[in-house]
Structure 1
Amino acid sequence: MRALLALAVMAAGVSLALPSFAQDKTNCADSANLTQSEMNHCAGLDYQAADDELNAVWAELRDRRGEGHSWDPILEAQRAWIAFRDAHCESVAAPYEGGSIQPLIRSSCLADVTEQRTAQLRDFLNEP
């Protein structure tokens, strides 16, 4: 149980680092007419959607595997993956440090890597 709490705290930390636009009505589908700030916001929304999907697949996997021998390696890998994801996307965004596009680069990377990890976790769901 402590392991799940630690994982939730790590995920929450990333979520808190992203800007909140709860009442924004940006039309992300109209990418040709967005400001840089709006594009950054839309990339953040894309990442949030990818993270929500990952968390749903993670919960299903946890429910199927439960605690125990077959779960422990998955949990360990997920913790390592979170550290990798964060470090990797920081390195991808680093060349844009101080630029207005850096949040878009970071959020896009987070979304892409998260979608890849979600597919990997889905593979675990298909195993016996």
Structure 2
Amino acid sequence: MRPIAPVTALLLIVSTASAFAQEQPEVNCQEAVTQMDLNLCAHRDFEAADMELNSIYRQAIAAMQATDKELGDINAAHVGAVGALKKAQRAWIGYRDGQCELAGFEARGGSMEPMLVSGCLADLTRKRTAELKELLEPAGN
């Protein structure tokens, strides 16, 4: 039997948590006690963080398009902000996924692993969102 690739394992963990979300929408995360509920709540937290990241990323892309336009009007050789942002985002996703897979090893194969992975995903996603928000601030602020 072939071992599961790390990315496949991460996707399996996240999709399992997603299945929990579809089966138990009535969990009150403020009072979660069971591991299944804690896993579900951690996944919901990640989903909320990911939605905010996607919104800010779209705004950052628009801001970098405006930057490229301004720079292109001066010198076409200076254009490339959108490409740099996309390159950085792709690299960050690889880092996030690997780092959070590693975080899951604290409870590898246990019922707590999905919570650890989702918690890591949410934390790193919020940090990346903050980085992207900095791109939207006027220079010098």
Q: TM-score, normalised by structure 1?
A: 0.80
Aligned partners of 2:61 and 2:85 also within 8 Å: no
Aligned partners of 2:96 and 2:121 also within 8 Å: yes
- Cα deviation for residue 95 of structure 1 reads 2.7
Answering whether residue 99 of structure 2 is matched by residue 83 of structure 1, we say: no
Answering whether residue 123 of structure 2 is matched by residue 107 of structure 1, we say: no
Partner of 1:59: 58
Answering whether residue 107 of structure 2 is matched by residue 96 of structure 1, we say: yes
Counterpart code for 1:27: N
**Secondary structure of the residue that 1:98 maps to in structure 2?**
coil
Runs (5+) with no aligned partner, structure 1: 1-12
Bigger Rg, structure 1 or 2? 2
Q: How does 1:10-49 map to 2 (within 5 A)?
A: 17=15, 18-20=17-19, 21-22=21-22, 24-31=25-32, 34-49=33-48
Counterpart code for 1:53: E
Which is richer in helix?
Answer: 2
Q: Percent identity?
A: 35
* Separation in 2, partners of 1:56, 1:110: 17
- Cα deviation for residue 127 of structure 1 reads 4.0
* Separation in 2, partners of 1:112, 1:60: 21
* Separation in 2, partners of 1:93, 1:127: 38
Aligned residues: 114
Q: Deviations over 1:15-52 (max 9, x none)?
A: x6342323520000113xx2100000000000000000
CA distance change for structure 1 residues 116 and 105 in 2, over 3 Å: closer, same or farther?
same
